[in-house]
Homo-oligomer: A and B are copies of this chain.
Amino acid sequence: MTTDSDTPWLTDQEQRAWRTHLDVSRLLMHQLERDLQPFGLTNNDYEILVNLSEAEDRRLRMSDLAAATLQSKSRLSHQITRMENAGLVRRESCESDRRGLYAVLTDEGWDTMRRVAPHHVASVRRHFIDLFASEDLEALRTSLTPVAEHLRGRRGKV
């Protein structure tokens, strides 16, 4: 941990950039959540559907899915139980490793995905993507990528 004495306070410019990033990420999540609500899905539900629907055989190991969606195994386990009760996914055991389980997208889950995705994309466009000039979006991605890498590198560390 950095000692306090050599850490300069944030400048005004830095403060504003920081607060803005914070506000955008929170407000955006709220908005997307609200836009999904009519379809009976949460952001977390949706993200899991995306990951499964893009995966080989529409299935992923619990651990991999947890890593992909950046949540704890425990949380994912509860989440999958809920989605299983809702008929969107099912658990299937893994032959090669008898400890393992796959979360598998059901047909209903797939249909839900196909039905909801266009609305969600529209929502992401309306509230985020379309509000940038395309070169700004690219600049955003470029400058954010090292941050993501830095943070991924210290997941689960000290």
Residues of chain A touching chain B, judged by Cβ–Cβ distance below 8 Å, are 1-2, 4, 7-10, 13-14, 16-18, 20-21, 23-31, 35, 70, 118-119, 121-122, 124-129, 131-134, 136-141, 143-148, 150-152, 154-155
Main secondary structure of the interface of A (DSSP, over half): helix
Contact residues in B for A26 (Cβ distance below 8 Å): 70
Q: A17-B144, A128-B147, A140-B140 are in contact. List 6 more A-B contacts (CB 8 A).
A: A1-B119, A4-B118, A7-B121, A23-B70, A23-B148, A30-B151
Q: Pick the contact of A17 from B1, B4, B138 — CB < 8 Å?
A: B138
Q: Pick the contact of A27 from B1, B127, B152 — CB < 8 Å?
A: B152
Instruction: Give 9 closest A-B pairs by Cβ, nearest first.
Output: A4-B118, A25-B25, A27-B151, A17-B141, A2-B122, A7-B122, A136-B143, A20-B144, A23-B148
29 A–B pairs (Cβ distance < 8 Å), ordered by A: A1-B35, A2-B119, A2-B122, A2-B126, A4-B118, A4-B119, A7-B118, A7-B121, A7-B125, A10-B121, A10-B129, A13-B134, A13-B141, A17-B141, A20-B140, A20-B141, A24-B148, A25-B29, A26-B70, A27-B152, A28-B147, A30-B151, A31-B151, A127-B151, A131-B147, A131-B150, A132-B143, A140-B140, A140-B144
Contact residues in B for A150 (Cβ distance below 8 Å): 127, 131
